[in-house]
Structure 1
Amino acid sequence: VREPEFQGQTKDKLATPEAAKIVETTLRDHFEHYLTSAPADADKLLGWVIDRAEERVKRRQEKEVSRKSAVRKLRLPGKLADCSQNSSEGAELFIVEGDSAGGSAKQGRNRKNQAILPLRGKILNVANATQAKMQQSQQIADLVLALGCGMGASYDEARLRYEKIIIMTDADVDGAHIAALLVTFFHEQMPELIRQGHLYIAVPPLYRLAQGAKTFYARDDEHREELLKTEFRANAKVDISRFKGLGEMLPAQLKETTMLPGKRTLLQVHIPDEESKATEKAVKDLMGNKPELRFKFIQENAAFAGEDLLDI
């Protein structure tokens, strides 16, 4: 065969069209004669061919079923990094702000039982939003889809996909606002989720304190000062760094301080029955559409700076 063509990198199969024609012409007549003269062998060969064909059809059908199942699974939000376990018992969903923090959380999580859902920006304030606005919110749609339990009158506790829902935001004013908006959403649209004890708020560290091989993390200024007095030598320098956000933390740091059971600090959102009415009023006043009520709350509860702290 002149200028032969071979198939693939291993060159283990001749792919020249002319060669195929030569082989077919040479073998076809002899093979047909053999099958005619040996009907028993022909029946065995035919049975083998039919079995292989049925296997191919079966595999194709199984692939199609598998693909359809995968499509159904992909109805979960695209940004959700789900956990591998199938049961909700012990499963945790971390709701984080932004893709940066989401990336660190995804690397630091326990893939078996910890899922990560990054949210871009601030979620809709449902306390003063119409039903139409809520239906148009992609963030709310993603969150409800990830939880799997529906919301409002359609809420079904049995369909909740996680045992713990953990709000994990930056330790700053914006992070606190995002956490407040999320708690408001759950309070207004999934109150039973709170009553059953599923909602938590993670407490990430604000400071990292290091002295030689010794490292501690502080939740706030008061905790930082306490650690400086109790855990470090007074005559040696302590390196103090302040985290600007969760996205600035290394995955290992985020895991150790905020995600690892036994080392992390979680605040469970719990509303006693006797405080339910007062809580409803507080949510309405602070998150509702009447700014004068928020202004009144600030006037009554703000800690104003004295003249000695002002540079006048």
Structure 2
Amino acid sequence: MSPGRPASLAETINATLADLLEHDPRVVLIGEDIGRLGGVFRVTRGLQQRFGKDRVRDSVLAESTIIGQAVGMAISGLVPVCEIQFDGFVYPAVNQLVTQAARIGHRWNGQVEPSLVVRIPSGGGVRGVEHHSESNEALFARAPGISVACPSTGDDADQILRHAMGLGSPVVMYEPIRLYWRRNLPARSTEPASAPTAARVVRRGSDVTVATFGAVTNEVLEAAQALSPDVDVEVVDLRWVAPFDLDTVLTSVARTGRLLIVHEAAKYAGIGGEVAASVAEDGFHLLKGPVRRLAPDRRAYPPADFEDDYLISVRQIMNEVLEMTK
């Protein structure tokens, strides 16, 4: 990192992994091309040279074996941190994650508490082909025993990784590809989260709450700034989507009376539906109007030249907020 420049998401994750490897001999990294190459996005660049091939391991091109190894390592007392090259490649590993990693602790009556992390580059906006641009976090969010996190900043990724080391159960962390090396992010509040797994209020407001996570948090912040001062938008970055911090969302809705949920994954059966249902159940009396969701339709991610028609834009967010507050 050059002096005077803020660390990017990729640089922060690299530094956090290096620190964990340095201070905890149980930590082992596993993934396709993460060692000699430093990963497709160079997030693990230099770590194998520094810590050796036993600690930073290049795996075979088989996602099921990556997680299979990690489960065995975790049972043995190690803390493996796996990398899946793209979110669209995680499907061969679902069986190992859901039926093995998530259930080992209960299956053995709590005699083992396997800590392992699965890092997954995720999302669109980088002109990738269809199986490189998915947002499938809801797939694991519904699996008991698995925690799912979606950081939008390096600081949050650092906190998530450090918390996951001692959790005693699997954590899947979705890392927005288009934020890996981006530095010009919109301003946000530095107000800390109340706990490592809590949501973070990244912009205070009084007219409407927008709950979001991942890369699209930045579009939400841009929309909020563009609407100010006519509409005062409060932005809640969920950070963790399974379990998610309902209390922070309800506290925000109590201030604003309105809730919009924005995410990059398809609206149908997405995280937004769970947030909306939870707020309707526990906070209906706080609402001035119906909860609304803004997310892509349930369809395959389009070719690169048409991805702008799929991704949620700043203008769409602005229009939705204006509709809710008119």
TM-score normalised over the length of structure 1: 0.29
* Greater share of residues in helix: 1
Query: Which is greater in Rg?
Result: 1
TM-score normalised over the length of structure 2: 0.28
